[in-house]
Amino acid sequence: MRRILAATIVVGAFALFIALAVMTTLRAEAKLPTNSASLLDMGNLTQLRVALVTTGGQVLSRIPNANGVLIQDRRGTIRRVLFGARTVFLWHHTHDRDVLVGADAAEIGAHLSISGLSRPDAFLAFKVRIQPHHRAVGGIIVGIAGAGTASELLSLSSKRGAISAVRLMPGAAVTLNGRPFARPLVTGLRITTAAVKDPLLPGIMRADSVKVLQPTKAQRVGGLIRTIDTIRDRITIYSKTQNRTYTIEVVQTTKITLSKWKAGYADMVPGDHLTVSGTPDLANTSIGPNPIIAKTIKISSPTFGGTITAIAPAPSGGAVLTVRARRNHMLRIDVPGQTPVLYGTQAAHVPDLFVGAKISVRGTRLGKFEEQATSIRVYPHLHTVGGAIVALLPGLIRITSSTDGSTIIIHTTPDTKYYSNGHATTAAAVKVGLHARIYGYDALRGEQKNIPSLIARRVSLIIRTHTTHSTKKKKATPTKAARPPATATPRAG
């Protein structure tokens, strides 16, 4: 019984103390003026036995015709908060000290931590700590001021053309696809930031994180292969039109083709032209200039022509040619026996082809580097011979070589050009006994296989002009007669 009585007395005393405290607070609040501007003019609050309370929430809106806002706490309760003339506003942001600001910093969306007095109709704020509202600000970087400094300022252009000024905070994280961005920000990049309004500089946003957006639109570039790295799966190409070098990243999904055939590294050599379609890899700029993750790579088809390196016989008088192309590709040319061959201006046949001849081929494509010829043109080697003209026939000139005295037959065509001492002339100027220098190519060996023949492109005649000097008789100059020695004339005495 004693224990129960003691407990009852303790509980009753505590309830009486709480009741007295509530009554004192209500009386003190009843003495407070309704004008919040005079809150701090009432004297010492401790004398009124009034305790400051705290609250907080997100700003929903401004109160019309009043200096205050509506906030909503985590439980969803909405409260009216009134600001006085002496209310202190502190603006707080990550990595920043509290900054003394004005009431305008309590913008919609910001979170307020408030210390003040609670009234039935409103909360009277003494001290307000503002955590600013973060908003997404992004666009294409069109300008950078103070790059690399603590006050780096970016000018962003949105899709609608609006310009925003965003100042990067010291140590701001710059990422791409969740990974650190390896290079400095440059104009032309599209970014998005979580930014807040700068309380001291109107119109400026503060950002402590930047996300570089990966371009989703495919980019198409073309150029000549500079290097091929089969270990790292990278190809470097140079675009002459853009004067730019690209690093092509070959991944598992990259499709490489040559014409309509599937291709790979073995089908390309430095100097080949590639057409690449892919997306820029802005996160790996350290691997090389302008990296692109390739989606498709098209190797330009080689020109079917080059130097014959080997000739293998084929049925029905045909042949299989091995040709080294311009970029050192080895080509296979299947030549049927009846394939027309043009040797310079002469009609030839398949057996007239020889190793070392330079050819161009037209035909049907059989593979990446194989073709069946329908016609072949041979570009013979051009050189110059010289000698004295010893005989003339229609379309033929026989000369004796000035080097070894051998006989060379020169074939002339309607396209042959003639020159005499460097001046253009006609075929009529060609005479036996003149010295000629002929520029052309070796003709196919005919019946006279032992006599070399040349198809002339240019015949240059060398005519020496001899000047005759007339010998004139010199006139004999008359010799003067010797004078007799002078004799002394006697003087008169």
Are 65 and 89 part of one and the same domain? yes
CB-based contact 82:122 (threshold 8 Å)? yes
Tell me which of 379 and 3 has the higher pLDDT: 379
Are 372 and 429 part of one and the same domain? no
Domain closes at, from 179, 212, 245: 212
Residue 44 lies in a domain: no
Tell me which of 370 and 176 has the higher pLDDT: 370
Residue type present at position 168: L
Work out the burial of residue 166: count CB atoms within 10 Å of its CB; fewer than 13 is exposed, 13-18 middle, 19 or more buried: buried
Are 316 and 348 part of one and the same domain? yes
Are 144 and 107 part of one and the same domain? no
The CA distance from 92 to 129, in Å, is: 7
User: For residue 39, what pLDDT is reported?
Assistant: 46
Residue-number span of the structural domain to which 309 is assigned: 305-379
Residue 39 lies in a domain: no
The CA distance from 7 to 17, in Å, is: 16
Domain closes at, from 318, 347, 379: 379
Residues 121-145 have pLDDT tens digits of 888 888 999 998 888 888 888 888 8
| CATH code for position 289 | 2.40.50.320
User: For residue 267, what pLDDT is reported?
Assistant: 93
Residue 426 lies in a domain: yes
CB-based contact 109:69 (threshold 8 Å)? no
The CA distance from 142 to 193, in Å, is: 15
Residue 231 lies in a domain: yes
| Cβ within 8 Å of residue 228, ≥6 positions away | 235, 265, 268, 269, 270
CB-based contact 68:82 (threshold 8 Å)? yes
Residue 470 lies in a domain: no
CB-based contact 226:268 (threshold 8 Å)? no
Residues 208-240 have pLDDT tens digits of 888 988 766 778 999 999 999 999 999 999 999
The CA distance from 351 to 320, in Å, is: 11
Q: What is the mean pLDDT of the chain?
A: 82
User: For residue 162, what pLDDT is reported?
Assistant: 84
User: What tokens does 360 get?
Assistant: 């161009």
Number of domains in the chain: 5
Are 293 and 352 part of one and the same domain? no
Domain closes at, from 86, 101, 131: 131
CB-based contact 409:453 (threshold 8 Å)? yes
Q: Which of 156-160, 289-293, 302-306, 414-418 has the lowest mean pLDDT?
A: 156-160
pLDDT band at residue 29 using 50, 70 and 90 as cut-offs: very low
Are 121 and 164 part of one and the same domain? no
CB-based contact 193:175 (threshold 8 Å)? no
User: What tokens does 239 get?
Assistant: 């675009």
The answer to whether the pTM exceeds 0.75 is: no
Task: Please check the confidence at residue 256 and state whether its pLDDT lies above 90.
Answer: yes
Task: Please check the confidence at residue 183 and state whether its pLDDT lies above 80.
Answer: no
User: For residue 72, what pLDDT is reported?
Assistant: 92
The CA distance from 71 to 111, in Å, is: 8
The CA distance from 147 to 207, in Å, is: 15
CB-based contact 84:36 (threshold 8 Å)? yes
Tell me which of 99 and 384 has the higher pLDDT: 384
Are 268 and 339 part of one and the same domain? no
Residues 408-467 have pLDDT tens digits of 999 999 999 999 998 999 999 999 999 999 999 988 865 456 778 899 999 999 987 655
| Cβ within 8 Å of residue 205, ≥6 positions away | 137, 164, 165, 166, 167, 193, 195, 196, 197, 198
User: For residue 283, what pLDDT is reported?
Assistant: 66
User: For residue 355, what pLDDT is reported?
Assistant: 92
Are 359 and 338 part of one and the same domain? yes
Task: Please check the confidence at residue 28 and state whether its pLDDT lies above 60.
Answer: no
User: For residue 481, what pLDDT is reported?
Assistant: 47
Are 332 and 260 part of one and the same domain? no
**Of residues 344, 448, 457, the one with CA closest to residue 406:** 448
User: What tokens does 333 get?
Assistant: 């040319």
Q: Strands 417-420, 423-425: parallel, antiparallel or unpaired by DSSP?
A: antiparallel
**Percentage of the chain modeled with pLDDT above 90:** 40
| CATH code for position 79 | 2.40.50.140
Residue 83 lies in a domain: yes
Region of 16 (left: φ > 0; alpha: ψ -120 to 50; beta: rest) is alpha
CA distances to 55, 93, 209 from 130, rounded to whole Å, are 12, 9, 20
* HSE, side-chain direction, 13 A CA sphere, residue 340: 8
Task: Please check the confidence at residue 27 and state whether its pLDDT lies above 60.
Answer: no
Backbone torsions φ then ψ of 283, nearest 5 degrees: -80, -15
Backbone torsions φ then ψ of 416, nearest 5 degrees: -70, 135
User: For residue 111, what pLDDT is reported?
Assistant: 92
Are 315 and 367 part of one and the same domain? yes
Residue 31 lies in a domain: no
Q: Which of 188-192, 314-318, 455-459 has the lowest mean pLDDT?
A: 188-192
User: For residue 147, what pLDDT is reported?
Assistant: 75
Residue 446 lies in a domain: yes
